Amino acid sequence: MSDAILDAREKRASLLSMMLSKGYDAVLSIRANIPGHQKNTPEAYIIVRYFEYFLREKIGFIHHERLEGEDGPYVFAAVETDEIKVLKQKLVQIEDELPLGRLVDLDVWTIEGSLSRSDLGIKPRKCYLCDRDAHFCVRNRKHALDDVLAFIKHTVKAHLIMDMQQMAKDAMMRELNLEDKFGLVTPTNSGSHHDMTYDLMIQAQDVILPYLAKLFELGGSGLEHYRLMDLGRPIGVEAENAMFEVTHGVNCYKGLIFILGLVMLSSGYILSHHHDFNHLFLTIQLLAKPLLDDFEKRPISFGEKAYHEHQIMGARGEAALGLPSVHHALRIMDQRPLTDDLLREILQLLIRSTDDTVLLKRAGSFEKYLAVKKKIALLDVHDLVAVRQFTQEAIDEKISFGGSADLLIATLFMHELQKHYF
């Protein structure tokens, strides 16, 4: 065993001892169960960060510390409990029943030491690749290391794809379910969109989710970022075609496919490379910057014409800058409870701070576009009477803030992504 690993274990033991000396009822340890000498794999960080989030939500932490070293990433979390054995049983259940739980070691420590499965009369853990005792297979080297690592990669990838789809779905539904939002579709009103309904939006969501998952998978495939956009664009086109087929030509989420697809692509990339969360914005910027070349061609789409006439770049410009408005919105979202009031405030911020070609098209003129943006900038979004009055005006004048709604969904998704894995 290397000196670096021994040093990492000593630091870990010292931190655990220090936390236990503070009189906490118990300290949980979270460690990825990765064989071999390389413990600092992207998969190890994904496993540890996810269970840090999962257990904080499920059990609650008084205090927690992260530790990194040659022995891999660790988390120690102090908890309150009168039932140490019951807590250990819950952790064993998580290890045994969640697909990703097989890859994590969740231990309970008290001043007397750790509580093991055998202390509770629970059978030892099974091997990843067969039905035998895991310790037996490790001790007797029953499986090739490459086969075990391949299983870990496959399990983590399957978990991530499922989790990304769920977070995307939750973000879309949170935006869709928000009432009184300036003429956008809600559960009770089609708003300014006479061709859309709440149920149609949900149908469109469900059909595009698998394509968003494909973009995430592509981002994590190991390809360099300069190749990802060329390979991702056809997936986005497939998603659009599938959406139009189910909606009979109604454009429910074309802009979202672009924005959230780009976020998915970048998320896969940074997670597979173990980059920090802020690297997500840099990756989005790198991926989207070549899209500005579209503005150098003869304008065909409304967005391209908007640039040539008014220098408005819309979603492409926002993405090429690394989604600065979303970055700002996330800082606000991270500091306050996620209420409907806050979501309206963030939607207002996104409308004010971004160029929305959907709004420009609906406004009919650049002057009207600027007037609408000024009016919403002055709106007190915490005054529901004023919000409902403005919403009705937007409906009457067929004004839409669809581009900003897409950015709100992206913000909600990235908010959860950060909590789960960073």
Model confidence pLDDT, tens digit, residues 376-410: 999 999 999 999 999 999 999 999 999 999 999 99
Model confidence pLDDT, tens digit, residues 157-203: 999 999 999 999 999 999 999 999 999 999 999 999 999 999 999 99
Judge whether residue 305 has pLDDT over 90: no
Please name which of 46, 155, 165, 45 lies closest in space to residue 99, comparing C-alpha atoms.
155
Question: What are the start and end residues of each CATH 1.10.4200 domain in the chain?
Answer: 164-421
DSSP assignment string, 210-229: HHHHHHHHHHTSS--HHHHH
Judge whether residue 241 has pLDDT over 80: yes
Least confident stretch, 10-24, 48-62, 161-175, 193-207: 10-24
Indicate if the alpha-carbon torsion angle 215, 216, 222, 226 is positive or negative. Answer: positive
pLDDT of residue 8: 85
d(CA 350, CA 347): 5
Model confidence pLDDT, tens digit, residues 251-292: 999 999 999 999 999 999 999 999 999 999 999 999 998 877
Whether 258 and 315 have beta carbons less than 8 Å apart is answered as yes
Model confidence pLDDT, tens digit, residues 128-144: 999 898 888 888 889 99
Expressed in percent and rounded to 5, the helix, strand and coil fractions of the chain are 65, 10, 30
- Residue range 348-361: mean pLDDT, rounded: 90
Write down the mean pLDDT value for the chain: 93
* Sequence-ordered strand ranges (E) for 18-168: 26-32, 63-67, 74-79, 104-110, 113-115
pTM score of the predicted model: 0.94
- Residue range 347-353: mean pLDDT, rounded: 95
Whether 75 and 57 have beta carbons less than 8 Å apart is answered as no
d(CA 217, CA 32): 22
pLDDT of residue 310: 67
The single-letter DSSP state of residue 78 is: E
How confident is residue 300, by pLDDT bands cut at 50, 70 and 90? low
Please name which of 96, 88, 93 lies closest in space to residue 115, comparing C-alpha atoms.
88
> 164-421 — its CATH code?
1.10.4200
The single-letter DSSP state of residue 19 is: H
pLDDT of residue 383: 97
Pairing of strands 74-79, 113-115: unpaired
- Residue range 27-44: mean pLDDT, rounded: 95
pLDDT of residue 3: 73
